[in-house]
Amino acid sequence: MRILVLNWRDLAHPESGGAEVYTEQVLRRWAAAGHEVTLFAAAVAGRPAAELVDGYRVVRAGNRFTVYREARRWWDRYGRGRFDVVVDETNTVPFHAHEWVRDGARTIALVHQTCEEIWHINAPPLAAQLGRYVLEPNWLRRLAGAPILAVSESTRDALARFGARDVTVVPEGYEPPGDLPRVAKEATPTAVFCGRMVSYKRPREVIRAVQLARREVPDLRLWMIGGGPLLDRLRREAPAGVEFLGRVPEETKHDRMARAHVHLATSVREGWGLVVTEAAAMGTSTIAYDVPGLRDSTRAAGGVVVPPEPEALARWLVELLPGLTTAAPAPLPYGGAHSWDDVATTLLAAVDQHARVPDGVRAATPATDRSIRENQLRGADA
How many CB atoms are located within 10 Å of the residue 219 CB? Answer: 10
Whether residues 104 and 58 fall in one domain: yes
Rounded distance between C-alpha atoms, residue 89 and residue 14, angstroms:
18
Whether residues 311 and 326 fall in one domain: yes
Whether residues 50 and 90 fall in one domain: yes
Q: Which CATH number goes with the domain that contains 275?
A: 3.40.50.2000
Write out the H or E segment, with its range, that includes residue 3: strand 2-6
Rounded distance between C-alpha atoms, residue 11 and residue 21, angstroms:
7
Residue 185 lies in a domain: no
Whether residues 326 and 196 fall in one domain: yes
Among the candidates 302, 317, 336, a domain finishes at 336
Residue 184 lies in a domain: no
Asked if residues 205 and 310 have their Cβ atoms less than 8 Å apart, the reply is yes
Whether residues 289 and 366 fall in one domain: no
Whether residues 151 and 194 fall in one domain: no
Q: What is the pTM of this model?
A: 0.84
Residue 179 lies in a domain: no
For residue 270, the enclosing domain spans 190-336
Residue 183 lies in a domain: no
Whether residues 230 and 242 fall in one domain: yes
Whether residues 219 and 96 fall in one domain: no
- Gyration radius from the chain CA atoms: 22
Whether residues 208 and 278 fall in one domain: yes
Whether residues 138 and 207 fall in one domain: no
pLDDT in tens, the chain (382 residues): 999 999 999 999 988 888 899 999 999 999 999 999 999 999 999 999 999 999 999 999 999 999 999 999 999 999 999 999 999 999 889 999 999 999 999 999 999 999 998 898 888 999 999 999 999 999 999 999 999 999 999 999 999 999 999 999 999 999 988 877 788 999 999 999 999 899 999 999 999 999 999 999 999 999 999 999 999 999 999 999 999 999 999 899 999 999 999 999 999 999 899 999 999 999 999 999 999 999 999 999 999 999 999 999 999 999 999 988 888 788 899 999 999 999 999 999 999 999 999 876 666 554 444 444 444 444 444 4
Q: Which residues pair with 173 in a beta bridge?
A: 338
Asked if residues 287 and 317 have their Cβ atoms less than 8 Å apart, the reply is yes
Whether residues 11 and 146 fall in one domain: yes
Collapsing DSSP to helix, strand or coil, 111 comes out as strand
Residue 180 lies in a domain: no
Strands 2-6 and 50-53: unpaired
Asked if residues 206 and 317 have their Cβ atoms less than 8 Å apart, the reply is no
Whether residues 244 and 364 fall in one domain: no
Residue 247 lies in a domain: yes
Give how many domains the chain has, as a whole number: 2
